[in-house]
Amino acid sequence: MKKTVDKLVVAGALCLLASCISAPPRAPGIGQPVPWTQLPGWQDERLAQAWPALQSSCQKMPARDARWGELCADAALFPAPDDDTARAFFETRFVAHEVSGSNDTAEGLITGYYEPLLHGSRGKTRRFRYPVYGRPDDLVVVDLGALYPELQGKRYRGRLNNNRVVPYYSRADISNGKRPPDDAVIAWVDDPVALFFLEIQGSGRIRLPDGKMLHVGYADQNGHPYVAIGRTLVDAGLMKLEEATMPAIRAWLKANPEKAQAVLNSNPSYVFFTLREPDSLGPIGALNVPLQPERSVAVDPNFIPLGSPVWLDTSLPGNRDARPYRRLVFAQDTGGAIRGPVRADLFLGFGENAERTAGAMRQRGKLFVLLPADRKIN
């Protein structure tokens, strides 16, 4: 009997030495600090090119996080650093943390978005008959955190009906006539599908018949959840998952006009816009700073703090040799489809190349969040 017990003891010890007892999985989100050498490609990045994005985040972050006050004051001392100076700044002022997804996965989905170009008019015509709505006056936003502290940061959007707040009109409601009044329209466009994708991108430009350009940006949303129409097409057996890229979805909608509206209505979310100054530096993201091409990303703020630097390790579509795409970006936006810890939407700017890349981008990738270092003062 003693020999049996001894064997069990030895077996248990060997099991521990061989890591037979697995460590508990990491919780989704920001994990423990990692050395800079663990960030793939960090030493090769042209970090001076990321400095303007840091300066943009510094416009808002000190009010959100006290640690950013001193950090941004120090950054202001270097208006145009070289790469080595910028790298030294980030390595001394920040600590890198790997972001983990559910089931302890390190990789997640990286997509892209851009500023689309639409054709429209300030007035309704036979050609330009699809409305781009500004924020309607009857949209009510209730701050739930003011009533229930546990719901801090949560808001409910609806409208008043007999002194009761009820859900605002869904996309299907709006397309079927239950819509805001025409005086809420800021422009009329000629393509309902292009208008739908303008909502997904959150900002864009509308070229008027005289050649002038209207710049529009996100103003608000109707409060309904976002549903990806690509998923609708896949679930209906009309498209394979690997085929559900933006160009393919647009092509399907164009080829099936009699079914297009029903597919669009499967996404009840509806976005309202505002006019922005044409000389602004770029579309305004959720952090309320201009987005910068290939330096701004949309993230899920439940996992990654807005304004934070993020090391992005992914690839671009169309690279046959699968060359890595690694760079420092900043979490300056959010989006209805951006949910989960290892999830980012890279802003690619304006123009055909940006549209082409964003439309095809569904890459795997890793994220590392840079959080302010706790600096001790002696």
Is the pLDDT confidence value at 16 over 60? no
User: Mean pLDDT across the stretch 67-95?
Assistant: 96
User: DSSP string covering 101-113, please?
Assistant: -GGG---EEEEEE
d(CA 261, CA 266): 9
- DSSP 8-state assignment for residue 226: P
pLDDT band at 10 (very low <50, low <70, confident <90, very high): very low
Decide: 223 and 158 in contact? Cβ < 8 Å: yes
- Of the candidate ranges 22-31, 141-150, 217-226, the one whose mean pLDDT is the lowest: 22-31
d(CA 39, CA 99): 12
Instruction: Tell which wins on pLDDT, 374 or 203.
Output: 203
Closest by Cα among 183, 158, 28 to 105: 28
pTM for this prediction: 0.81
Is the pLDDT confidence value at 11 over 90? no
d(CA 108, CA 105): 8
d(CA 173, CA 168): 9
Residue 106: the pLDDT is 87
At 28, list the tokens: 């989704």
User: What are the pLDDT digits (tens) for 116-126?
Assistant: 999 999 999 99
Residue 280: the pLDDT is 62
- Of the candidate ranges 13-17, 101-105, 370-374, the one whose mean pLDDT is the lowest: 13-17
User: What are the pLDDT digits (tens) for 288-334?
Assistant: 999 999 999 999 999 999 999 999 999 998 766 667 999 999 999 99
User: Mean pLDDT across the stretch 193-222?
Assistant: 94
User: What are the pLDDT digits (tens) for 255-299?
Assistant: 999 999 999 999 999 999 999 887 667 799 999 999 999 999 999
User: Mean pLDDT across the stretch 201-218?
Assistant: 94
User: Residue 371 forms beta bridges with which residues?
Assistant: 95
Instruction: Tell which wins on pLDDT, 247 or 370.
Output: 370
List of residues 6+ apart from 168 with CB closer than 8 A: 139, 140, 157, 158, 159, 222, 223, 224
Instruction: Tell which wins on pLDDT, 160 or 148.
Output: 160
Is the pLDDT confidence value at 21 over 50? no
User: What are the pLDDT digits (tens) for 234-262?
Assistant: 999 999 988 888 889 999 999 999 999 99
Strand 324-333 vs strand 362-372: parallel, antiparallel, or unpaired?
unpaired
- Give whole-number Cα distances, 29 to 35, 63, 312, 373, 374, in Å: 18, 23, 15, 18, 20
At 347, list the tokens: 């802003």
- Helical spans, DSSP H, in the chain: 2-17, 51-57, 61-64, 67-75, 83-93, 171-175, 192-201, 229-235, 246-255, 257-265, 352-360
Is the pLDDT confidence value at 103 over 70? yes
d(CA 216, CA 189): 13
- Quickly tell me which residue has 């309607």 as its tokens: 136
Residue 278: the pLDDT is 73
